[in-house]
Amino acid sequence: MRDKDENEEEGVVLVEQGPIEIDADQTREPFKPAIDPEFQPLFPPLRPEEYEQLEESLVREGCRDPLAVWAGHNILLDGHHRYEICTRLGIPFGVLGIELPDREAALDWIDRNQLGRRNLTRDQYLLFLGRRYNRLKMDHGGDRRSSGNGCHSKTAEALAGQHGVSERTVRNAGEFADAIETLKKEVDPEIESKVVAGTAPPRGLITEAAKQVVNGEKEKAEATLRGERGAVARIKKATSDGRKRAKLEARAAAAREALAEAPGGVWEVVEGDAIEVLGSIEPGGARLSFAAPPLNDGNLPEVD
């Protein structure tokens, strides 16, 4: 069920889903919700100490919070760790169904629910928030990267108010989520899962790598994600050296072409180290010499 947000008159509709009770009593028969392979990587893993604390709490106090499932589909939306522990230890649990119209709404419910967690890293928080922002922008008729029109401004305003952050934070989060999507498609299919798991490179490297992909510098982006700043510099130098080498080869080709058209015996093209070649010329053996690139070095031998 979609309830209209107070900002609807401004062109923004935020989804509000209410829980629908499937079974108020704790389950007597083992309940087996479906684990969706697309949904499961969206949940940050617990640290070992957090998992241990959760298990101790469930053993001591029982499962006080019901599992959340997508009503009509029985796909688990929240409570994966509780479900695993309760099933393994035979601890009863309750189940609540959430009415949702489609998978996009289910994905948005998951992100919104995760944003309520207190132990998220900054990058995890921005990813979840950015996905919400980009998803709502798409719902209101825009592309993922545009943010200038009034509707998108109201979307950022509404999400900022909902999550207690600034509009700028919302937009930055959207850019971060876009950067992850770019890298996911072009460089590292697991980058989103790594951010969720807290094992990804720092946010700055992710955004830098995404820009490099957009600029057609995929190799640089791969090195950036690996944190190889030195490798990035080496790639840049190699690219520069390659361009210089191409220019020198073009000049040499032009010289050879000019030689072919010149009268016989007038010109001779010698390729090699300029200082060594000039040093090998006998005095009076050449009236004029060229070096590519030009060399103005006081150590060059004089040639008459």
For residue 98, which of 152, 163, 22 has the smallest C-alpha distance?
Answer: 22
Give the pLDDT score at 291: 59
Give the pLDDT score at 4: 42
Flag whether pLDDT at 125 surpasses 90: yes
Query: From CA 200, how far away is CA 288, in angstroms rounded?
Result: 61
Q: Tokens for 304?
A: 């008459």
Average pLDDT of the residues in 168-197: 94
Cβ atoms of 223 and 192 within 8 Å: the answer is no
Mention every residue, 6+ apart, whose C-beta is less than 8 A from residue 171: 133, 147, 156
Instruction: Report the first-to-last Cα separation within the chain, whole angstroms.
Output: 93
| pLDDT over 90 percentage in the chain | 48
For the chain, give the mean pLDDT.
78
Instruction: Tell me which residue has tokens 């959760």.
Output: 54
Give the pLDDT score at 154: 87
User: Confidence class of residue 236 from pLDDT cuts 50, 70 and 90?
Assistant: low
Give the pLDDT score at 266: 61
Flag whether pLDDT at 287 surpasses 70: no
CA 302 to chain centre: 59
Flag whether pLDDT at 288 surpasses 70: no
Mention every residue, 6+ apart, whose C-beta is less than 8 A from residue 163: 115, 129, 170
How far are the Cα atoms of 21, 26, 107, 214 from residue 146, in angstroms, in the given order? 39, 47, 21, 16
Instruction: Tell me which residue has tokens 């490179």.
Output: 201
| pLDDT over 70 percentage in the chain | 65
Flag whether pLDDT at 208 surpasses 70: yes
Flag whether pLDDT at 2 surpasses 50: no
User: Confidence class of residue 290 from pLDDT cuts 50, 70 and 90?
Assistant: low
Query: From CA 160, how far away is CA 167, in angstroms rounded?
Result: 5
Flag whether pLDDT at 161 surpasses 80: yes
Tell me the pLDDT tens digit for each residue of 88-123. 999 999 999 999 999 999 999 999 999 998 889 999
Give domain limits for the chain.
Answer: 18-99, 103-227, 231-267, 270-304
Give the pLDDT score at 195: 94
Give the pLDDT score at 151: 59
Mention every residue, 6+ apart, whose C-beta is less than 8 A from residue 198: 44, 45, 121, 123, 124
Is 18-99 in CATH node 3.90.1530? yes
